[in-house]
């Protein structure tokens, strides 16, 4: 089987930095993805890490350590529009399949 | 065109009805997916089509029947559903196969299904 763990909720103020951790247990790991989903909306892709290290895309960065089965999403200079749910998802070796973590609800306050 | 479209946006059906959800993409993606999402839960994979062939069925009840008529279209046929099947049904597409590069799934806006 496989499992992904991430915190259920994080609250922060505008301009702050938030780190969402994701630990996973799975066989045949290919990569770790992050998706953002606003209430009533569809998941949208943020990042994908297949190799160890940090990937930076604007205010968002994602990190992966394959040896620790751990990754995180870093949200910098938080804005009100960043209030959403953030899901980590594991891509496995067998086929095109993503398994999502339970999601972290981020609430940004003024 | 980097959009996945789904119709209808909302659907209310009785337990004896037969209905279909439709999904379309024109990004040349050869992998297409159906997910089910309940409120405040993550998307749960139902089916994966790769090159128009069903490659993954996550033990979904037979009252859900997927169909991939061509590389751009994906349908989900619904029959004799239960109230607990009420959820947001998301379609997604991606490049098929390969392990190099960025792996991104593009999601449609979903169909919000209510079963009475």
The answer to whether residue A94 scores a pLDDT higher than 80 is no
Tokens of B107: 């999601």
Q: Is B50 on the interface with A (CB under 8 A)?
A: yes
**CB nearest to A103's CB, from B42, B45, B90:** B42
Tokens of B63: 């009252």
Tell me, what's the pLDDT at B85?
A: 97
Contact B42 A101 (CB under 8 A): yes
Tell me, what's the pLDDT at A92?
A: 84
Task: Among A96, A104, A105, pick the best mutation site for testing chain B contact (most B Cβ within 10 A).
Answer: A96
The answer to whether residue A28 scores a pLDDT higher than 90 is no
Nearest CA in chain B to A43: B107
CB atoms within 10 A of CB B37: 20
The answer to whether residue B68 scores a pLDDT higher than 70 is yes
Tokens of A16: 């702050």
Output the CA torsion A56→A86→B37→B54 (10° steps).
20
Q: Are strands B111-115 and B10-13 parallel, antiparallel or unpaired?
A: parallel
Tokens of B64: 């859900």
A63 near A71, Cβ under 8 Å? yes
**CB nearest to B42's CB, from A30, A97, A102:** A102
Tell me, what's the pLDDT at A96?
A: 79
Q: How confident is the model at residue B20 (pLDDT cuts 50, 70, 90)?
A: very high
Q: Is A88 on the interface with B (CB under 8 A)?
A: no
The half-sphere exposure of A73 on its side-chain side, counting CA atoms within 13 A, is 30
**CB nearest to A48's CB, from B40, B41, B104:** B104
Q: How confident is the model at residue A26 (pLDDT cuts 50, 70, 90)?
A: confident
Q: Is B25 on the interface with A (CB under 8 A)?
A: no
């Amino acid at each position: 089987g496989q499992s992904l763990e991430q915190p259920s909720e994080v609250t922060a103020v505008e301009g702050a930095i938030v780190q969402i951790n994701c630990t996973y247990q799975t066989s045949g790991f290919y990569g770790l993805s992050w998706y953002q989903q606003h209430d009533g909306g569809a998941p949208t892709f943020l990042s994908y890490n297949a190799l160890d290290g940090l990937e930076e895309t604007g205010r968002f960065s994602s990190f992966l350590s394959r040896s620790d089965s751990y990754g995180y999403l870093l949200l910098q200079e938080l804005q009100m529009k960043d209030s959403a749910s953030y899901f980590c998802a594991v891509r496995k070796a067998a086929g095109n399949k993503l398994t999502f973590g339970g999601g972290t609800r981020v609430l940004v306050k003024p | 065109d980097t959009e996945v479209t789904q119709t209808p946006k909302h659907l209310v059906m009785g337990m004896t009805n037969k209905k279909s959800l439709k999904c379309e993409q024109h990004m040349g993606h050869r992998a297409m997916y159906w997910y089910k999402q309940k409120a405040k839960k993550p998307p749960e994979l139902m089916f994966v089509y790769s090159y128009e062939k069903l490659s993954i069925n996550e033990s979904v009840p037979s009252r859900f029947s997927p169909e991939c008529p061509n590389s751009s279209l994906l349908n989900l046929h619904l029959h004799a559903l239960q109230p607990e099947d009420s959820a947001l049904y998301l379609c997604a597409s991606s490049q098929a196969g390969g392990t190099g590069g960025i792996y991104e799934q593009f999601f449609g806006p979903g169909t919000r299904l209510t079963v009475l």
